[in-house]
A and B are shown apart, each in its own frame.
Chain A
Amino acid sequence: MTENLKKEKLYNLIVSLDQKAQEYIKLCTEFDILKSQKNINLKNQYCVELQERFTKNLEDIIKITEDIKKFKYKTSNN
């Protein structure tokens, strides 16, 4: 892996993690609003969707973490 490629890959990882972190913050805010309205139950479709979005967000972050680990492994072996 060339130096430029390494830098680009690292930059992409930082940006994508940052995006997911921003998304997480937004989700937390929405969840706090729901909690303050005491409107959390299974009948509320919005709640279910929020849970799904949280799950998706977590999965994405896990994926990025794995990418980071792979990148680390590759760069340390070079």
Chain B
Amino acid sequence: MNNRDFRSLFVKKKTVSIYEHANDRITVSGNDYLSIPSREALKGLSAEQRRVSATDFAILTGADTTKQYLTNTGKPSAWYYLTSQYFYNRPETVYKDGEYSVNDILYDNTSVLCPTFSLKLPGESVRVTLTQRLLNNNIIRHFYTAEDYERLYSLLETLSTQTNNKGETLYHTIELGQYPKNSVDNNLNNTLETLFNNGKLSQELKPTGLTYTMYNHSSNAFAPKFVPEFEYLGKKYVRVKPSASFNPLNAEHLMHDIQWVEVEPIKCKILNWAKLPKFINPKGSGIANTIELMTEDGIISGVPYFPQDMFNVQKQYFNSSIRGFINGLNLCEITNAVRSSIKNNDNFTCFSGLFNEAFNTAREPVYDYVIPNNQKIIDDYAFNGCVHLNSITLHPQITHIGENAFAGCNFEYIYKLDDQAILSKNYPVNKNAYDIIKISELNQSIRKHLETYIKNSSVCITLSKKLNKENLVVPDKFLQEIAKYPAFNDFANGNFHFFKMELDNLLTKVGVDNAIYLDTYYKVAYALGCFSTEYIKDKNGKDTPTPLCQKASSTLFRLMNQYFDFKSLNDTFKNLSVDTKPNQLFVRFISLSNADRLPNVEMLIELEKNNKEIFAKTMTNFNKAIGFKKYIDEKGIPRKLSWEETFKKFYQYKENIETYHSDLEVMKVLGPLQLSNQVIEKVIKFRNMARNNNLRKNILGKELKEETINEAIERIKNATRTQLINAKEELQKLCQKQFTYEFLDKYDPTNAIIGTYCNCCANINSASYGSDIVKATMLSPDVQNLVIRDFKGDIIAKGAMYVNEEYGYAVLNDFEINEKYKTNEIMGLPGLYYTETNDEKEKEQTRNLIFKALQKGIRDFVKEYDKLHPDKPMQKVNVGLGFNRLREQCEPYETEKNLLTIPQEYNFKDAEKEQKILYSRDDKTTTNTNTNTNTNTNTNTISKNPEPEMQR
């Protein structure tokens, strides 16, 4: 795998998002390096051809696949989004069966991503005539540096053809960049995990310092997770903790809690093969100035179309999270409030994120990672196994740190610098660092420790901003107390003018069990003046009747409700022992119930323990149900449903979802008319009733319709196309079945490695007797190879033939054929291959044709031999049956009773025990008992028939 930066070969292309309704056609364009397939790009492909599979890495990141539908290479199919729009507010998708579909739920993060992109071609190589060039002024002549040429040629070395089971060409591929792809087998997984855990990292398993980013999408926010790369015995692997949306039912082979996945070159389909210049495609027209590519498999999943489902504008490709993700936008920037963040990035720099990770294999490793300010959540297992990291810097705006976020990172110290918290392998060199703690001496987890610190800081900053906005200042008498807490420094220069209120109410509301947060509340409450007995002063400096603590407490309450929603429930859930780790969305889901309904949560957990699918289903359903909460009614007015109504609506939809897919034509006809769901459901219901009753489509039992001339021509055109394809296939089959014989020239070096072509031991270095046969075919005057070539001229079968001129006979050791033409072979008798008779008819016919070619070779040989030796013509030609791959074809021939002999040094072992007579000069024989001087006495049957005829 060469380390190269392929990004200079990429060309920015217009990203087109099309919505067609009645006569309207809206086209919105961006200018991106990477895009996803569009309906136009898939034009002309059948449903089967549109299907794509998912790599193991994509499945681990949440791709939804099914074995029910297979791609044309036989892999389970996944679904994916398109750039095109079906309605003005619905992105189009290709469902797992390959049919076009729509997905209302933009939260759904189980689609795979198959990036499409264009690579520039050198201008000089574009084979266009001068006239064409003059006519097409828009032909771009790309500038190519010497390095670009080198990169392009390295890509072309990987050019290959993808065929189906029948050997038909499906498409052509090249490989570039690298990305995690296939999981390793169980043994290697265990080996790598053991090496990782035993600390043998630097010796055998070396961290490369590179990571791959996968995103978790929860609570309408994105959190990245970094997958570290390691080198082991020259190959690269990543250590993956499957994402929360990974469904083990999709892939039984991915059973490990930590799965190792090999990093491999990305295989890409060439979409414009016919238009490529001749130095790539010898039959190409050469009019293309770019190579249009699409990854063969879905390479990653887990990114929803958009994190929320609120505004129609988000449902267009140029606003989608997917566009941002593949072009290198940090998804943490995408929030509902900044819904146009992706669109505004019309000119992505693209030198980060997926684009960089996939196509720049020469990128520099990052050893000191600073969490960006727009990232508020650190996901579970976010840095799991990132042993190469020397430090991670956390900012105080982080609202959540996931379980095991820093597991397996080997950090030794945790300290604070300014208002940042830093995890580091080394003792801090900066003198301003404070609160330095050795992690081994911590009496709680890193997460808990950081969380306390961050909560303090974030509470402080949030309050500070809020208080500043309300022009509230800290009273002097509290400054001294506040100064003890570095987190409260922001209040240090102000004055409080708060009112008194009882603390008991506050504590009751917060909940006495929440010890972790209680400490914070006390501090904040104290700082705000909740404990004060003073009275607030008016504008003139006089005391008012309202106590300071009253105002302080009410302010604190308001802020708490605003910023700490569902916190207590969150903790309650976490404290319960559950096998499956809690998920933010699930927590939010259960928090929709009030505290009185908490027993429901425990019941769910209990169910989850017994049946893990329930949790997954609940999660998936919840994700999908969110999409029903806000909707636009028939009059176009935004509406909001209660949660109860939302779920009711969702389950109704879910029941009908299969019908929706199967009745897509209803949606296609009625959908654009923006009718209510009620109307559409009724239509579908009636259609299903008709179908269930096996109602005939037409009274006459057949379609009766007058064809327009346009339809007539289209019909004939399509019929011709089908006919042409059929005829072409028939011709190809005919051409492929042209087998010709040749007696291979003794000086031909191919003799030395003839076994390589025919899958046998006849090689010059063979340890078996094959080397003796090779030696004989190259050095002995009486041995020669009879080979069969296919229509391309490749050798696909052979038989080594010994000719005894003295007695006028020949013996072929056996017939060997190429793997492609072999039938299933099992060991019958020791040393013998048994040919199954119930093999495919087609293969059997092909073997018959090969045998016919061999027969013809023998016949012609005898003819020519007889001309040369009129006094001693050829009497008999036998073939050995030892390891004969055409045993079935030889079986009908007469068995030789007195074996013809071959000099021992030639080692024709397959003809030593059993021989069949392929040619005999005359059946009316004179029995001629001869003694062969080389070996034992044999009785040979000599015929006198002057015309060589194959015996049968």
- By a beta-carbon cutoff of 8 Å, the part of chain A in contact with chain B is 10, 13-14, 17, 20-21, 24, 27-28, 31, 35, 40-42, 47-48, 50-51, 54-55, 57-58, 61-62, 64-65, 68-69, 71-72, 75-76
Which of B716, B726, B733, B734 is in CB contact (< 8 Å) with A65?
B726
Confirm or deny: B604 has a beta carbon within 8 angstroms of a beta carbon on chain A. Answer: no
Which of B709, B712, B728, B735 is in CB contact (< 8 Å) with A10?
B735
Give the complex CA separation of A62 and B708 in angstroms.
Answer: 24
Q: Using A47-B713, A51-B709 as known contacts, list a sample of 5 further A-B pairs with CB atoms less than 8 Å apart, ordered by residue number in A.
A: A54-B720, A61-B723, A61-B724, A62-B723, A68-B731
Using CB atoms, name the residue of chain A closest to B733: A72
Known: A10-B734, A10-B735. A61 touches B727 (CB 8 A): yes
Interchain nearest-CB distance for B788 vs A (Å) = 15
Using CB atoms, name the residue of chain B closest to A25: B724
Known: A54-B720, A62-B723. A69 touches B734 (CB 8 A): no
Contact of B735 with A24 in the complex, beta carbons under 8 Å: no
Give the complex CA separation of A65 and B733 in angstroms.
Answer: 13
Give the complex CA separation of A55 and B714 in angstroms.
Answer: 11
Known: A41-B709, A42-B709, A51-B712. A21 touches B717 (CB 8 A): no
Which of A47, A50, A57, A75 is in CB contact (< 8 Å) with B734?
A75
Give the complex CA separation of A72 and B735 in angstroms.
Answer: 10
Contact of A21 with B730 in the complex, beta carbons under 8 Å: no
Which of A13, A40, A54, A57 is in CB contact (< 8 Å) with B731?
A13
Give the complex CA separation of A57 and B716 in angstroms.
Answer: 9
Confirm or deny: B719 has a beta carbon within 8 angstroms of a beta carbon on chain A. Answer: yes
Using CB atoms, name the residue of chain B closest to A64: B727
Contact of B712 with A65 in the complex, beta carbons under 8 Å: no
Confirm or deny: B710 has a beta carbon within 8 angstroms of a beta carbon on chain A. Answer: yes
Using CB atoms, name the residue of chain A closest to B845: A76
- List 30 interface pairs A-B (beta carbons < 8 Å), by A numbering: A10-B731, A10-B734, A20-B724, A21-B724, A24-B720, A24-B721, A24-B724, A28-B717, A31-B713, A40-B708, A40-B709, A40-B710, A40-B713, A42-B709, A47-B709, A47-B713, A51-B713, A54-B713, A54-B716, A55-B716, A61-B720, A61-B727, A65-B726, A65-B727, A65-B730, A68-B727, A69-B730, A71-B734, A72-B730, A76-B845
Chain B residues lying within 8 Å of A13, measured Cβ to Cβ, are: 731
Interchain nearest-CB distance for A68 vs B (Å) = 5
Give the residue among A10, A24, A57, A68 with the most B Cβ atoms within 10 A: A68
Give the complex CA separation of A48 and B713 in angstroms.
Answer: 9
Give the complex CA separation of A61 and B722 in angstroms.
Answer: 10
Contact of B720 with A17 in the complex, beta carbons under 8 Å: no
Give the complex CA separation of A58 and B527 in angstroms.
Answer: 90
Contact of B730 with A48 in the complex, beta carbons under 8 Å: no
Using CB atoms, name the residue of chain B closest to A16: B727
Residue-by-residue, is B381-400 near A (CB-CB < 8 Å gives 1, otherwise 0)? Answer: 00000000000000000000
Interchain nearest-CB distance for A12 vs B (Å) = 11
Using CB atoms, name the residue of chain A closest to B849: A76
Chain A residues lying within 8 Å of B721, measured Cβ to Cβ, are: 24
Using CB atoms, name the residue of chain A closest to B726: A65
Chain A residues lying within 8 Å of B726, measured Cβ to Cβ, are: 65
Give the complex CA separation of A69 and B734 in angstroms.
Answer: 10
Chain B residues lying within 8 Å of A62, measured Cβ to Cβ, are: 723
Give the complex CA separation of A65 and B723 in angstroms.
Answer: 8
Give the complex CA separation of A40 and B709 in angstroms.
Answer: 7
Interchain nearest-CB distance for B736 vs A (Å) = 12
Interchain nearest-CB distance for B721 vs A (Å) = 8
Interchain nearest-CB distance for A14 vs B (Å) = 6
Give the complex CA separation of A27 and B717 in angstroms.
Answer: 9
Interchain nearest-CB distance for A15 vs B (Å) = 11
Interface residues of B in 689-726 (CB under 8 A from A): 708-710, 712-713, 716-717, 719-721, 723-724, 726
Known: A31-B713, A31-B717, A54-B717. A68 touches B723 (CB 8 A): no
Give the complex CA separation of A42 and B716 in angstroms.
Answer: 16
Contact of A58 with B713 in the complex, beta carbons under 8 Å: no
Using CB atoms, name the residue of chain B closest to A35: B710
Give the complex CA separation of A72 and B729 in angstroms.
Answer: 12
Give the complex CA separation of A40 and B710 in angstroms.
Answer: 6
Chain B residues lying within 8 Å of A69, measured Cβ to Cβ, are: 730
Interchain nearest-CB distance for A62 vs B (Å) = 6
Give the residue among B713, B719, B730 with the most A Cβ atoms within 10 A: B713
Please list the 9 inter-chain residue pairs (A to B) with the smallest Cβ-Cβ separation, ordered nearest first. A65-B727, A54-B716, A58-B720, A40-B710, A68-B730, A61-B723, A51-B713, A47-B709, A42-B709
Interface residues of B in 734-770 (CB under 8 A from A): 734-735
Give the complex CA separation of A40 and B711 in angstroms.
Answer: 10
Interchain nearest-CB distance for A19 vs B (Å) = 12
Contact of A17 with B731 in the complex, beta carbons under 8 Å: yes
Chain B residues lying within 8 Å of A68, measured Cβ to Cβ, are: 727, 730-731, 734
Using CB atoms, name the residue of chain B closest to A71: B734
Chain B residues lying within 8 Å of A47, measured Cβ to Cβ, are: 709, 713
Chain B residues lying within 8 Å of A51, measured Cβ to Cβ, are: 709, 712-713, 716
Chain A residues lying within 8 Å of B731, measured Cβ to Cβ, are: 10, 13-14, 17, 68
Chain A residues lying within 8 Å of B728, measured Cβ to Cβ, are: 17, 21
Chain A residues lying within 8 Å of B730, measured Cβ to Cβ, are: 65, 68-69, 72
Give the complex CA separation of A75 and B608 in angstroms.
Answer: 67
Give the complex CA separation of A35 and B712 in angstroms.
Answer: 13
Chain B residues lying within 8 Å of A50, measured Cβ to Cβ, are: 713
Chain A residues lying within 8 Å of B716, measured Cβ to Cβ, are: 51, 54-55, 58
Which of B708, B720, B735 is in CB contact (< 8 Å) with A57?
B720
Using CB atoms, name the residue of chain B closest to A44: B709
Give the complex CA separation of A76 and B845 in angstroms.
Answer: 9
Chain B residues lying within 8 Å of A27, measured Cβ to Cβ, are: 717
Chain B residues lying within 8 Å of A58, measured Cβ to Cβ, are: 716, 719-720, 723
Give the complex CA separation of A61 and B726 in angstroms.
Answer: 10
Chain B residues lying within 8 Å of A64, measured Cβ to Cβ, are: 727
Give the complex CA separation of A55 and B723 in angstroms.
Answer: 12
Residue-by-residue, is B196-225 near A (CB-CB < 8 Å gives 1, otherwise 0)? Answer: 000000000000000000000000000000
Give the residue among B710, B727, B730 with the most A Cβ atoms within 10 A: B727
Give the complex CA separation of A62 and B727 in angstroms.
Answer: 8
Give the complex CA separation of A31 and B730 in angstroms.
Answer: 28
Interchain nearest-CB distance for A21 vs B (Å) = 6
Contact of A48 with B723 in the complex, beta carbons under 8 Å: no
Interchain nearest-CB distance for A48 vs B (Å) = 7
Give the residue among B719, B724, B845 with the most A Cβ atoms within 10 A: B724
Give the complex CA separation of A64 and B730 in angstroms.
Answer: 11
Using CB atoms, name the residue of chain A closest to B714: A31
Residue-by-residue, is B580-591 near A (CB-CB < 8 Å gives 1, otherwise 0)? Answer: 000000000000
Which of A17, A35, A40, A75 is in CB contact (< 8 Å) with B727?
A17
Give the complex CA separation of A57 and B721 in angstroms.
Answer: 11
Interchain nearest-CB distance for B319 vs A (Å) = 32
Interchain nearest-CB distance for A72 vs B (Å) = 6
Give the complex CA separation of A43 and B331 in angstroms.
Answer: 58
Chain A residues lying within 8 Å of B712, measured Cβ to Cβ, are: 51
Interchain nearest-CB distance for A9 vs B (Å) = 10
Interface residues of B in 252-285 (CB under 8 A from A): none
Chain A residues lying within 8 Å of B845, measured Cβ to Cβ, are: 76
Chain A residues lying within 8 Å of B733, measured Cβ to Cβ, are: 72
Using CB atoms, name the residue of chain A closest to B740: A3
Give the residue among A21, A31, A58, A64 with the most B Cβ atoms within 10 A: A58
Give the complex CA separation of A42 and B712 in angstroms.
Answer: 11
Give the complex CA separation of A57 and B719 in angstroms.
Answer: 11
Give the complex CA separation of A50 and B717 in angstroms.
Answer: 11
Give the complex CA separation of A47 and B32 in angstroms.
Answer: 42
Chain B residues lying within 8 Å of A65, measured Cβ to Cβ, are: 723, 726-727, 730
Give the complex CA separation of A33 and B709 in angstroms.
Answer: 15
Give the complex CA separation of A62 and B719 in angstroms.
Answer: 10
Give the residue among B720, B726, B845 with the most A Cβ atoms within 10 A: B720
Interchain nearest-CB distance for A6 vs B (Å) = 9
